Chain A
Amino acid sequence: MFSLYKKELQGYFLSPLAYTFIALVMLIFSGFFIWWIFTATSTQVEFQFSYFFYYNILLTTILLIPILTMRAFAEERKNGTEVLLLSSPLSVSKIVLAKFLAVATVLVIAMVLSLIYPLIASIYGYVVIPNLIASYVGYLLYGLAYIALGLLISSFMSTPGLAMLASVAVSLILFFVELMLGSSFLASLPVLSDVLYWFSNQAKFENFTQGFCQLSDLVSYVTEIIVFLLWTIISIEKRRFSRS
């Protein structure tokens, strides 16, 4: 399994994908950082995690993570290399896990690099360390959930381009559903809004940016990741039956 993980990770860095991803993540961070500097007043130089990370994670998950996950299974299928993996003594669950960990590693690398912004902020302003840690934990989990989702969509598709489009579409739909959560119309339907709220990634993420690392939120994100990964495994196993 390690060799597949290694190959996947190498693959991201041999192609422009990982660099593009990291550069765009840094761009988003920089943009919001500059915005924060412009809006900060001399009396309020505390690093604003909730705003800073809220838009950041939205852009990253909707636009950037699909760049990384699109290739995972769709390209193997397109190039016929899927056969190599399926005929090798490696179970489908290990294949999925190796690919998931490889994408996760790229995300972690981008996050580590992004630590430079809180660092600069801490020199000239004020950073609340518990908030910082909680935000990064939330950011990682949120990202991992979308990586798992992206892998699942990639396993449905036959070309990376399609996988990317579908991932962006699904992420956007999820975004708009969560946007509706605050509307008065949904508030008039208590059951529906409650259910949606339980599954809302953004609501949980908000807790993290406030500096709360709640067990329920952690479990919820981890469950989401596991469900998507299991679904991916099932999807690939199922596809074996119909391939020719």
Chain B
Amino acid sequence: MVEIKHLTKYYGRKAAVKDISFTIEDHEILGFLGPNGAGKSTTLNIICGVIPSTSGTVTINGYNIEDQPVKAKQCIGFLPEIPPVYMDMKVGEYLMFVAGLRGVPASKRKSHIQRVMQRLRIEDVSKRLINNLSKGYKQRVGFAQALIGDPQIIILDEPTVGLDPSQLIEVRNLILDLKRDHSIILSSHILSEISAICDRVVIINHGEIQAIDTIANLESSAKANTVLKLKVQGSSREVARTARSVEGVVSVSNITFVKTGIYTYDVEISDREVRNPLLSALLVNKMDVLEVSEERKSLEQIFVNLVNQPAGKKKSLQDLLEEMEDVNQESASEEPSAEDENGEE
């Protein structure tokens, strides 16, 4: 179990991380989510004892990383953003070296490394120079390094960067598999990736926690907004008015001309149930619906909106989403709200 309490880190005068607190339970995959420069890597580096914090504590299985670094670091496997591999070593040699570094008994090293290499499917490159490997393989060697010594806590800083789609799925499955006997912290700026494997997610921006919530909550909120792409024959004004008059339609936007009398529309609906009433309303008014396609509001978009919220601590994702909605509506009603906000600042 990892406990992070009131973690703060200043680089000179600039705060990279401000008063962060959260815990990682055993057998849990925690997603650490934020845009680039949000303080993800800094936080992970502090947890691993690579850089010291300005204030606050990190406790790993009861060992404080500052006071008992050796014992705390024995519980951690860390894959940094850039895989920490020596270019002039062979894969097998390198893992052997890491095993020694982590204090794996000499007699067990060989079999242990074999097992880790099997797990990451890098046995076939074990005799090759790391320098000659592709980026994906280097990344996997870096991943293997984090598993050496069977640490209870595995910290992965953007583990899927540079992997091709099939490797991506392999790594995802591996992480899910690791969950059985490890706790995992996983950072990423890609929400869909996190949503695929993480139990809980911490969203961070500008060094502050924006939300801590389960993936289930996150997804259910995201599904609330569905966008229908319609291609309808008829006057654009009429169609828009009819659509807006249907209960449950949030907005009609992005009206584009296709050819005379035919336009496409993006209709945002609050619930999928609204779909049929909407279509029937259009048909009843003699407007031919030529095409319907559904576009779920992408998780990434939600995430982008979340992290772009003005700074301030939020209790839960739900609050955030509601707030976001308010902002959207304000801007939809053509009030110069954005300018007002700037003025206040």
Q: Which residues of A contact B98 (CB under 8 A)?
A: 84, 88
A91 and B84 within 8 A (CB): no
**Cβ contact of B50, chosen from A15, A79, A91, A240, cutoff 8 A:** A240
A159 CA to B188 CA, complexed, in Å: 29
Q: Which residues of A are found within 8 Å of B42, using beta-carbon distances?
A: 244
Contacts of B70 in A (CB 8 A): 89-91
The closest CB in chain A to the CB of B77 belongs to: A87
Residue of B nearest to A75 (CB): B86
Q: With A and B bound together, what is the CA distance between A85 and B97 in angstroms? A: 11
Q: Indicate which residue in B73, B85, B93 contacts A87 across the interface (CB closer than 8 Å).
A: B73
A164-182 interface bits toward B, Cβ cutoff 8 Å, 1 = contact, 0 = none: 0000000000000000000
Cβ-neighbour of A244 out of B11, B71, B73, B78 (below 8 A): B11
Interface residues of B in 286-316 (CB under 8 A from A): none
Verify if B69 is at the interface (C-beta below 8 Å from A): yes
**B16 interface residue (CB < 8 Å to A):** yes
Task: Tell me if B272 is interfacial: C-beta within 8 Å of chain A.
Answer: no
Q: Is the CB of B82 within 8 A of A88?
A: no
Q: How many residues of B contact A (CB 8 A)?
A: 37
Q: Is the CB of A83 within 8 A of B88?
A: no
User: Given A4-B101, A88-B101, A241–B16 Cβ distance below 8 Å?
Assistant: no
Contact A89 B103 (CB under 8 A): yes
* Min C-beta distance of B161 to chain A, whole Å: 13
Task: Flag A18-40 by CB within 8 Å of B: 1 or 0 each.
Answer: 00000000000000000000000
Q: A84-B98, A87-B48, A87-B50 are in contact. Are A242 and B11 (CB under 8 A)?
A: yes
Which residues of B sit under 8 angstroms from A189, Cβ to Cβ? none
Shortest CB-to-CB span from B156 to chain A, Å, is: 12
B51 interface contact, C-beta 8 A:
yes
- CB pair A3–B100 under 8 Å, yes or no, is yes
Q: How many Å lie between the Cα of A85 and that of B73 in the bound state?
A: 11
Partner of B74, one of A11, A89, A240: A89
Chain B residue at minimum C-beta to C-beta distance from A11: B88
| Closest residue on chain B to residue A239 by CB atoms | B51
Q: Would A83 and B74 count as touching, CB distance under 8 A?
A: no
Alpha-carbon distance between A27 and B100 when the two chains are bound, in angstroms? 37
Q: Closest chain A residue to B54 by CB distance?
A: A241
B49 partner residues in chain A, CB cutoff 8 A = 86-87
Which residues from chain B contact A55 at a C-beta distance below 8 Å? Answer: none
User: For the complex, is B145 an interface residue (Cβ under 8 Å from A)?
Assistant: yes
A241/B51 contact (C-beta < 8 A), A14-B88, A79-B87 known: yes
In the bound complex, what is the Cα–Cα distance between A60 and B20 (angstroms)? 52
Chain A neighbourhood of B89, CB < 8 A: 7, 11, 14
B45: interface (CB < 8 Å): yes
B-binding residues in A (CB < 8 A): 2-4, 6-7, 10-11, 14-15, 79-91, 240-244
Q: Jot down 8 A-B pairs with beta carbons below 8 A, ordered by A.
A: A3-B100, A4-B100, A4-B101, A83-B45, A83-B48, A84-B98, A84-B145, A87-B73
Closest CB pairs A-B (n = 9): A3-B100, A84-B84, A80-B82, A89-B73, A87-B48, A87-B78, A81-B84, A86-B50, A83-B80
